[in-house]
């Protein structure tokens, strides 16, 4: 297909983001559909998540062989890795290689933040504005803004007064020297646990400020031999087939056995095998089919993990502080010797629920009981304004000048995680109410579906394309119903927006699994996109 750019815009499509999503989207639209594409990223280079999160210990917890693009068979065969999980530098190298191979950088303007996007109903074009003063008109926008990308900086009194180094893990600068420093870490989620484990051996003293303890199982990162990797490469078609036809898409067989259908001994044996093998998603979804849906099954998993904590952590008081008491129903964590860290003499744990942070001072942290913790470096591992965070930073205006912020004031809508009623020709990769999985396969699924939808609109002379309100409402109801069948809404985490003060608690994911999600996308495409408004304006194109 060759590019025509008959829409009257400066370009056909604008892509925002140079992570897994944006990179592949540029390739699809530019090289496969032949559209004229302008892409932006705020960062100075490609990588998205893996550009920004350079904190020590940053590691993907998706197995190495399936944390990559499935479609690029050549790259699958050419790439290699050392261990069962990939470190941040390895993933960044992989994405740079992908960008080089497909010559993607020439379509990007880096260090450029998109600040506004307004839809003009008369021309069916978007006008996009950037912080560098660009104003560009395009028919399509595809957002690959990331769902764990807009950082969450806590509003703690005095945070601006700290005279040492204050660093959020999601904006980790180059050249931070942690050796021999007095380091504080606020936050004990996936990121906190990784950065704590990596920092403890370097610090003179590490103080961990924990609000809510979390369940953690071993990641099980181990060297992978050339023979094992060759075997994987030989079997890649079957491996990806299994991944795309599974629920969480992590590359392991998901269990179909209810936890209470086996004896306690058998249950513990299965948990122990998963503990030894490693992997958070494997522990939650590979052991039994109902850990995330049945309270008794969930309790059994909780008991297994909390017993391990007591066995690992030598000081009983510290062990108790590290022991979660809520449901095991957040994004499952895994790490390398996380609980063991607290046996070190140079690590102390502070429960900031009991003894809250009163103020960040020039020299450290003062707690409510008056304790002063002197610090050289304070690390905020306080997570993200997840899912819609980056969308809310762009002044999106759709039909009738309605802003996305208004549309989403009660929590983000989003049809199929890729589109929004009233915002024609605007597509989202990992937008609200998309699947909750190992993300590259979901990203790939969405990028390909979006590309097919754009091709359809091009081929059929459609000037404006957005979901019908009733289709979106039905999808949201489906997402709510499925979420309600799980225990996830009962645990407070970013998945439902509970981590950011003032954020609406709402369903933000389709928890029905990638296989079912793909079936829904296919059904919509096969119906001729019947759930979408399709405005045909005969003169709009010429
Ligand atoms: P991102 O990689 O987040 O890229 C979004 C890009 O958009 C960013 O570069 C950002 O600068 C840019 N951007 C945003 N707004 C604008 C704007 N207005 N203008 C210009 N540019 C903008 N997922 C897994 O499946 N497995 C894992 O093991 C895993 N580990 C993770 C570890 C960490 C530390 C984090 C933070 C996330 C992890 N994730 C993991 C989720 C991860 O975000 C996804 O796997 C994937 O990398 C997302 O890719 P993306 O392209 O959708 O978004
Ligand atoms: P997170 O899960 O939201 O954890 C944030 C942590 O900061 C929590 O412990 C939270 O405590 C704490 N916190 C936030 N505000 C605070 C405050 N004002 N005072 C004290 N504590 C505060 O964020 P994350 O750890 O960055 O992880 C987000 C997601 O990124 C993960 O779930 C995962 O999807 C992805 N990730 C994956 C990996 C990986 O292993 N592959 C690594 C890193 C990130 P509360 O729990 O009390 O709110």
Q: Which CA distances in Å does 429 have to 197, 328, 475, 515?
A: 32, 28, 17, 17
Residue 540: predicted pLDDT: 44
Contacts of 113 (CB under 8 A, 6+ apart): 40, 42, 130, 131
Q: Which residue has the tokens 């075997």?
A: 231
C-alpha to C-alpha distance for 90 and 80, rounded to whole angstroms: 10
pLDDT confidence of residue 7: 74
User: Has residue 541 got a pLDDT over 70?
Assistant: no
Q: Give CA–CA dist 22/428, Å, rounded.
A: 10
User: And the tokens for 300?
Assistant: 């059994």
**Averaged pLDDT score across all residues of the chain:** 96
Kindly identify the ligand whose nearest atom is closest to the C-alpha of 437: 1
For ligand 1, is residue 443 a contact (CB within 6 Å)? yes
Q: What is the mean pLDDT of residues 310-325?
A: 98
Crossing angle of the two packed helices 514-526 and 439-459, in degrees rounded to 10 = 0
Give me ligand 2 centre to Cα 205, in Å: 22
**Contact, 216 vs 335, CB < 8 A?**
yes
Q: How far is the CA of 526 from the centre of ligand 1 (A)?
A: 30
Q: What is the DSSP string of 191-258?
A: HHHHHHHHHTTT-SEEEEEESS---EEE----B--HHHHHHHHHTHHHHHHHHHTSSS-SSSPPP-S-
Position in ligand 2 atom list of the atom nearest CA 357: 19
Neighbouring C-alpha atoms within 13 Å toward the C-beta of 378:
26
Among 124, 74, 120, 114, CA closest to 97: 74
Question: Rounded to whole angstroms, how far apart are CA atoms 407 and 403?
Answer: 6
Percent of the chain with pLDDT over 70: 98
76-122 pLDDT tens trace: 999 999 999 999 999 999 999 999 999 999 999 999 999 999 999 99
Q: How big is the chain, counted in residues?
A: 542
pLDDT digits (tens, 9 = 90+) for 212-248: 999 999 999 999 999 999 999 999 999 999 999 999 9
Number of H helices, E strands in the chain: 15, 24
**Ligand 1 site, residue 299, Cβ cutoff 6 A:** no
Ligand nearest to the CA of 494: 2
Ligand 1 pocket residue status of 90, Cβ below 6 Å: no
| Distance from residue 302's CA to the centre of ligand 1 (Å) | 30
Q: Are 434 and 517 in contact (CB under 8 A)?
A: yes
Q: Is the pTM of this model over 0.95?
A: yes
Strand partners, 210: 351
């Amino acid at each position: 297909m060759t590019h025509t750019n008959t829409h009257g815009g400066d370009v056909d499509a604008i892509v925002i983001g140079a992570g897994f999503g944006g990179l592949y989207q540029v390739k699809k639209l530019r090289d496969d559909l032949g559209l004229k594409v302008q892409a932006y990223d705020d960062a100075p280079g490609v990588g998205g998540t893996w550009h920004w999160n350079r904190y020590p210990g940053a590691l993907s917890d998706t197995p190495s062989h399936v944390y990559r693009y499935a479609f690029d068979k050549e790259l699958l065969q050419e790439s290699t890795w050392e261990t069962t999980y990939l470190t941040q530098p390895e993933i960044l190298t992989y994405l740079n290689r992908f960008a080089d191979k497909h010559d993607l950088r020439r379509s990007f303007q880096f260090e450029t933040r998109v600040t506004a996007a307004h839809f003009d109903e008369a021309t069916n074009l978007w006008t996009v504005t950037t912080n560098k003063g660009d104003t560009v008109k395009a028919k399509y926008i595809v957002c690959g803004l990331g769902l764990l990308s807009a950082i969450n900086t806590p509003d703690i009194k005095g945070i601006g007064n700290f005279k040492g180094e204050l660093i959020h893990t999601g904006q980790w600068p180059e050249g931070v020297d942690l050796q021999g420093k007095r380091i504080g870490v606020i936050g004990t989620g996936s990121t906190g646990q990784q950065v704590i484990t990596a920092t403890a051996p370097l610090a003179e003293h590490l103080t961990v400020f924990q609000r809510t303890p979390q369940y953690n199982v071993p990641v099980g990162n181990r060297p992978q031999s050339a023979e094992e990797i060759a075997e994987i490469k030989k079997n890649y078609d079957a491996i990806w087939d299994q991944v795309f036809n599974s629920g969480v898409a992590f590359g392991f067989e998901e269990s179909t056995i209810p936890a209470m259908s086996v004896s306690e001994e058998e249950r513990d044996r299965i948990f122990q095998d998963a503990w030894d093998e490693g992997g958070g998603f494997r522990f939650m979804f590979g052991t039994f089919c109902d850990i995330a849906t049945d309270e008794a099954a969930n309790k059994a998993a909780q008991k297994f993990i909390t017993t391990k904590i007591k066995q690992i952590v030598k000081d009983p008081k510290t062990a108790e502080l590290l022991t979660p008491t809520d449901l095991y129903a957040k994004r499952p964590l895994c790490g390398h010797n996380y609980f063991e860290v607290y046996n070190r003499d140079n690590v102390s744990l502070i429960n900031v629920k009991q003894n809250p942070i009163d103020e960040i001072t020039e020299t450290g942290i003062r707690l409510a009981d008056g304790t002063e913790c002197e610090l050289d470096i304070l690390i905020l591992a306080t997570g993200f304004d997840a899912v819609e965070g980056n969308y809310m930073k762009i002044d999106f205006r759709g039909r009738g000048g309605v802003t996305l912020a208004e549309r989403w004031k009660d929590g983000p809508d989003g049809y199929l995680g890729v589109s929004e009623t009233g915002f024609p020709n605007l597509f989202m990769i990992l937008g609200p109410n998309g699947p909750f999985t190992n993300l590259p396969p979901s990203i790939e699924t969405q990028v390909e579906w979006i590309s097919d939808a754009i091709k359809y609109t091009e081929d059929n002379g459609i000037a404006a394309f957005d979901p019908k309100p009733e289709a979106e409402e039905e999808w949201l109801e489906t997402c709510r119903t499925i979420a309600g069948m799980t225990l996830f809404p009962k645990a407070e985490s970013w998945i439902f927006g509970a981590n950011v003060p003032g954020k609406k608690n709402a369903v933000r994911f389709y928890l029905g699994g990638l296989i079912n999600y793909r079936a829904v996308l296919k059904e919509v495409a096969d119906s001729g996109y019947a759930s979408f408004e399709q405005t045909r304006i005969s003169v709009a194109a010429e």
